[in-house]
Copies of this chain bind each other. A is one copy, B any other.
Amino acid sequence: MYRSHRNGELRIADINKEVKLCGWVQKSRDLGGMTFLDLRDRYGITQLVFNIESNKELCEQARKLGREFVIQISGTVRERSSKNKNIPTGEIEIEVNSLEVLNSSKTPPFTIEDNTDGGDELRMKYRYLDLRRNPVKENLVLRHKIGLATRNYMNNMEFLEIETPFLIKSTPEGARDFVVPSRMNSGEFYALPQSPQTFKQLLMVSGYDRYFQIVKCFRDEDLRADRQPEFTQIDCEMAFVEQEDILQTFEGLIKNLFSEVKGIKLSEVERMTYAEAMRDYGSDKPDTRFGMKFNYITDVAKGKDFKIFDEAESIIAINVEGGNSLTRKQIDKITDYVKTPQVGAKGLIYSRINEDGSFKSSVDKFFNQEELAKWAEACDSKPGDLIFVLSGDEASTQSQMNDLRLHLGNLFELRDPDTFNPLWVLDFPLLEWDEDSNRFHAMHHPFTSPKKEDFHLLESDPGKVRANAYDLVINGVEIGGGSIRIHDRDIQSRMFDLLGFTKEEAEAQFGFLMSAFEYGAPPHGGIAFGFDRICSIFGGSESIRDYIAFPKNNSGRDVMIDAPAKVDNQQLDELSLKLNLKA
């Protein structure tokens, strides 16, 4: 036995016990005749004391220990004279009577503290040291808890966790696949799954009724910030369900997780259609922790000889409560923000509502008090508020106004990190037009069922067809999405037509699924949650990378192990491959 206790365990009730502890040297202090040393492990910190009077040799040995040395000590638990209320073991210390160095340590390249001095790149190279820091450890503990709570909830709801294969088949639909050359089948390749979509649908055809899996998925995308080539999904599917059954079940999951893991009782999950979300917030994942909904003042603001408005498709205004307190300089800064390429607005118009009810706008030349009063009426503004207005084609203006709204939410600290507002966004469009390829793409995926009442539009106006598709959004972050699936071979086949698949392509790629639909496929639907994303929302961080033990950087590299790497020619030869590098 290396140890009798862990470092977070001993209390005042343990005084006079003989104990054996192991851990890392967090720090040490020499105070005259005494050396104090903080011993750290996963469970906490225990203070060790070495007294030069009672044991000179041991004390001198202790003074030689460097940071991050691994040691084992024996000693007696004593009450501390000066107690530390900040740690659970703060009332005791160990009077050490023997010490063994289990392993030494070079000086770490950065400090193993909550606020380290190590930069991002250095910490990634030495990720095994970064993982020692408390905040990183707490993230991984949180991830473990969310995973286990998810599994137990799903099990209680009679879902079965069923593993689907990782070596599957490449399909050109959606994002790019990672492929895996097959040695035993020369010239052929597996693909790593972007999601277990078709397999979970097959499990429904097989009668498994309620399936889930916490599973790694893979996408070979050019990595935008906070995307990882491998990521984890909570993947779920149910048979004999309508949309409402799914919404209820997974509201239950999210509420259960918040209550089990964070001790938070969530309120009812709000619902909103995609059309409403776009109209009121200019986003399909609105942050509903604060207001500032959009007001369309196109009718009242057009025709006043203000060219910018007159040429606009839409004129959108939002009311900033108490916004009249903004200085001219602050408004200029906000204007600079909306003019950044990332937002892309040409300018920003405002109207102050003074305390006396009069208006002062940036377009007083074109709009008189009466006309500005109409804006205020449309925005439900009060004296002391301020109205911001953007205009242009509707889609761009909505998108710009969404950015502005979130920016103001941050500025006025309306996005309370301790509030969690879950929201279902419903009735997503089935298809979206892709300018590049000049054809429709599936907005969710090709297996999503159109709404029955929109079926008649499939031929005449496919862009208008709504899907039985839904996203779960928390605080402006999409944490999951799913749909009721097509379970009819003919409809699935029509869907592939609509998406521009030839019969041969559809058969080659998804023939097995369409065949399966001929043998008694039940109505079914499901959802997938971004597990990394859920962890980051729960942990209060913006970045999923903080919740992944060994993440990759933006070029898809693991800089710690230095992967990917070259392989030798024999290996390529066995795979019947040759490099074909561009000069």
With A2-B240, A207-B24, A560-B512 given, is the CB distance from A70 to B522 under 8 Å? Answer: yes
Interfacial chain B residues near A582, Cβ < 8 Å: 186, 576
A562 surroundings in chain B (CB, below 8 A): 169, 512
Complex: A203 Cα to B40 Cα, angstroms: 15
Do A512 and B168 touch (CB < 8 A)? no
**CB-based nearest B residue for A556:** B184
| B140, B187, B208, B522: the one within 8 Å of A102 (CB) | B522
A240-259 to B contact mask, C-beta < 8 Å, 1/0: 11100100000000000000
B555 adjacent to A185 (CB under 8 Å): yes
A512 to B127, CA, bound (A): 10
Q: A70-B522, A578-B578 are in contact. Are A192 and B180 (CB under 8 A)?
A: yes
CB<8 Å pairs between A and B, sample of 20: A3-B240, A105-B518, A128-B516, A131-B208, A132-B207, A143-B162, A144-B160, A144-B162, A166-B218, A167-B229, A167-B563, A167-B564, A168-B561, A168-B563, A180-B192, A182-B564, A185-B556, A190-B563, A191-B563, A216-B216
A203: which B residues are within 8 A, CB to CB?
Answer: 128, 131, 549
Q: How far is the CA of A117 from the CA of B223 in the complex (A)?
A: 50
With both beta carbons as reference points, the residue of chain B lying nearest to A202 in the complex is identified as B128
C-alpha spacing A487/B182, complex, angstroms = 36
A88 within 8 A of B: no
Residues of B within 8 Å of A30, CB to CB, are none
The answer to whether A22 and B103 touch across the interface, beta carbons within 8 angstroms, is: no
The yes or no answer to A415 lying at the interface (CB within 8 A) is no
Contact of A22 among B516, B522, B549 (CB under 8 A): B522
Give chain A's interface secondary structure class. Answer: loop
List of B residues within 8 angstroms of A151 by Cβ: 148, 151
Which residues of the other chain, B, contact A232 by a CB distance below 8 angstroms? 163
The docked-state distance in angstroms from the alpha carbon of A2 to that of B245 is 9
Asked if A418 lies at the interface with its beta carbon under 8 angstroms from chain B, I say no
| B564–A169 touching, CB < 8 Å | yes
**Cα–Cα distance between A549 and B207 once the two chains are bound (Å):** 13
With contacts A512-B560, A519-B106 known, is A207 near B40, CB below 8 A? yes
A148-B161, A182-B564 known; 18 other A-B pairs, CB under 8 Å?
A41-B207, A43-B209, A103-B521, A104-B520, A105-B520, A131-B207, A140-B162, A140-B208, A148-B155, A165-B550, A166-B192, A168-B563, A180-B192, A181-B181, A184-B222, A185-B564, A189-B564, A189-B566
Give every chain B residue within 8 A of A563 (Cβ-Cβ).
167-169, 190-191
Ranked 5 nearest A-B pairs via Cβ: A105-B520, A131-B206, A188-B564, A169-B563, A182-B564
A248 shortest CB reach to chain B, Å = 10
Docked complex Cα distance between A577 and B567 (Å) = 13
Interface centre among A169, A555, A568, A577, by most chain B C-beta atoms within 10 angstroms, is A577
- From residue A38, how far is it (CB to closest CB) to chain B in Å? 14
Interface string of A540-566 (1 = CB under 8 A from B): 000000001110100111101111111
- The residues of B that contact A108 with a CB separation of less than 8 Å are 519
CB distance from A42 to the nearest CB of B (A): 4
Interface bits A105-121 vs B (CB < 8 Å: 1, else 0): 11010000000000000
Interface residue? A310 (CB, 8 A) = no
Please tell me if A1 contacts chain B, counting CB pairs below 8 Å. Answer: yes
- List of B residues within 8 angstroms of A102 by Cβ: 522-523
Which A456-504 residues sit within 8 Å CB-CB of chain B? 487-488
| Residue A147 interfacial (CB < 8 Å) | yes
Residues in B whose Cβ lies below 8 Å from that of A560: 512
Chain B residues with CB below 8 A from A441, complex form: none
User: Which residues of B are found within 8 Å of A168, using beta-carbon distances?
Assistant: 558, 561, 563
Could you tell me the distance between the alpha carbons of A129 and B202 in the complex, rounded to whole angstroms?
A: 9
Please tell me if A575 contacts chain B, counting CB pairs below 8 Å: yes
The answer to whether A230 and B167 have CB atoms under 8 Å apart is: yes
Indicate if the CB atoms of A521 and B70 lie closer than 8 Å.
Answer: yes
Distance A518 CA – B178 CA, assembled complex (angstroms):
35
Given A182-B564, A577-B578, A578-B580: A2 and B216 interface contact (C-beta under 8 Å): no
Please determine whether A567 and B186 come into contact, CB atoms closer than 8 angstroms. no
Q: A161-B144, A520-B103, A576-B579 given as contacts; is B129 within 8 A of A206 (CB)?
A: yes
- Residues A552 and B167 in contact in the complex (CB < 8 Å), given A512-B561, A576-B582: yes
